[in-house]
């Protein structure tokens, strides 16, 4: 009995030490630890809240890009964010013939540098409450904040809230958002 208890304590301690060494102070996302020494794709595939995003990244052929050196900031919509789109939209976008449109939408969530929330908040304040965020997809998101929450507005007026900020990756940072950002229609 003492041996089992000691073994269980040792195993828990080892797991905690592993998580600490890999995840640092990163928040959990989608029920999974996010490891600062793994890239954006390696972490995203473990999040139960981002299965639609991962499927979309695969369908668009962006896996290799988002595994690249970066740095990138990814505003990562959750499954619930994709579910807010009109019925059938996600299924249509995942079809091979819509790869170009899907790629445009996804790259409108990616910035070509790592931007932590504190830095973005400072840019918003320095710009009088709203800061333009140009994306790799050619979209410009408008960042603002409401209380202590960062908000992003796309070119169509859709507003997303950053629900989990500063998820550090080996090639950048992820900020989880609750709405899909869309290119100008």
DSSP the chain: -HHHHHHHHHHHHHHHHHHHHHHTTPPEETTEE--TTS-HHHHHTT-GGGHHHHHHHHHHT-HHHHTSS--EEEEEE-HHHHHTSPTTHHHHHTSGGGHHHHHHHHHTTEESS---HHHHHHHHHHTTS-EEEE-TTS-EEEEEEETTEEEEE-TTS-EEEEEEEEEEETTEEEEEESS------
Q: How confident is the model at residue 34 (pLDDT cuts 50, 70, 90)?
A: confident
pLDDT digits (tens, 9 = 90+) for 45-75: 888 888 898 888 888 888 888 888 889 999 9
Least confident range of 22-26, 86-90, 181-185 = 22-26
| Least confident span in 31-40, 83-92, 126-135 | 31-40
More confident residue, 78 or 4: 78
Instruction: Flag whether 135 is in a domain.
Output: yes
Domain of 40, CATH number, reads 2.30.180.10
Q: pLDDT digits over 120-161, tens only?
A: 999 999 999 999 999 999 999 999 999 889 999 999 999 999
Instruction: Tell me if 185 is assigned to some domain.
Output: no
Q: How many domains does the chain have?
A: 1
Residue 111's pLDDT is 93
Cα-Cα-Cα-Cα dihedral sign, residues 47, 53, 59, 63: negative
Instruction: State the pLDDT at residue 143.
Output: 96
Average pLDDT of the residues of the chain: 84
Percentage, residues of the chain above pLDDT 90 = 56
User: Do the domain assignments include residue 11?
Assistant: no
Instruction: Determine, yes or no, domain membership for 87.
Output: yes
Domain hosting 66: range is: 25-177
Asked if the model's pLDDT at residue 4 lies above 70, the reply is no
Residue 131 lies in a domain: yes
Predicted TM-score of the model (pTM): 0.84
């Amino acid at each position: 009995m003492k041996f089992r208890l000691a073994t269980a304590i040792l195993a828990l301690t080892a797991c905690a030490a592993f998580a600490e060494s890999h995840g640092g102070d990163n928040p959990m996302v989608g029920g999974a630890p996010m490891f600062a020494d793994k890239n954006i794709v390696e972490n995203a595939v473990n999040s139960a809240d981002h299965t639609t995003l991962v499927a979309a990244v695969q369908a668009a052929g962006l896996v290799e890009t988002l595994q690249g050196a970066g740095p990138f900031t990814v505003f990562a919509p959750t499954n619930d964010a994709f579910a807010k789109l009109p019925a059938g939209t996600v299924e249509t976008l995942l079809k091979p013939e819509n790869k170009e449109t899907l790629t445009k939408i996804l790259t409108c969530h990616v910035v070509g540098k790592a931007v932590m929330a504190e830095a973005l908040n400072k840019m918003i304040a320095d710009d009088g409450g709203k800061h333009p965020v140009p994306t790799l997809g050619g979209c410009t998101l408008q960042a603002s904040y409401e209380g202590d929450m960062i908000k992003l507005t796309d070119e169509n007026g859709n507003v997303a809230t950053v629900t989990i900020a500063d998820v550090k990756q080996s090639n950048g940072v992820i900020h989880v958002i609750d709405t899909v950002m869309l290119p100008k229609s």
